[in-house]
A = this chain, B = another copy of it.
Amino acid sequence: MRPAALDWSVENCTVGRAMSILGERWTFVVLREIFTGVRRFEDMRRHTDIPRQVLTNRLTMLVEQGVLRREPYREPGERLRHEYRLTEKGFDLYPVLIAVWEWGDRYLADSEGSPVTVAHRDCEGTLGVQLVCSEGHVLKSPREAATRPGPGAKLFEAR
């Protein structure tokens, strides 16, 4: 059976676009650092072992994309430096990070377990994500969901 998805163009697909920002290991590692409070270039570099030039490129790209913003600071006796803060657009990546975290913990942790847990402050319960629809229904399985052509759907024409 021919999948209906083949009728529709992926040229303006927002998943593809999101992953061209996110779709590279170090980008997510940078976001993890910033979400866990590590905001300064030298801290990130030493903590993650990302090559200096790669880290510079990722931070620049994330600032250009509006995910991070640069905030000046000055330590006593040092020159003016910048730390990196999440914008609202960056902050809204938290569910993506948690979804990745949850899956990684389930399938990729060492036998002793994951090095970091994300907890609900109120009860210390472990954080995860759940599928929910705009009507407020919680979905138990992806099988309860279906893709539909959206407002920007374009018919697919093979090149």
Binding site for B on A (CB under 8 A): 3-6, 8-29, 32-33, 35-39, 43, 46-49, 66, 89, 91-110, 112-137, 139, 142, 144-154, 156, 158-159
Contacts and interface: CB of A to CB of B under 8 A. Distances in A.
A76 to B, nearest CB: 14
Contacts of A16: 25, 28-29, 32
Given A29-B16, A120-B137, A135-B120, A37 B100 contact: no
Given A112-B151, A115-B150, A32 B6 contact: no
Contacts of A17: 104, 108
Given A145-B120, A146-B119, A154-B115, A130 B95 contact: yes
A94 B131 CA distance: 9
A134 B125 contact: yes
14 contacts: A3-B39, A6-B38, A9-B115, A14-B101, A18-B100, A18-B101, A18-B107, A18-B108, A89-B107, A99-B99, A99-B129, A115-B153, A118-B146, A121-B146
A134 B142 contact: no
A144 B115 contact: no
A121 B96 contact: no
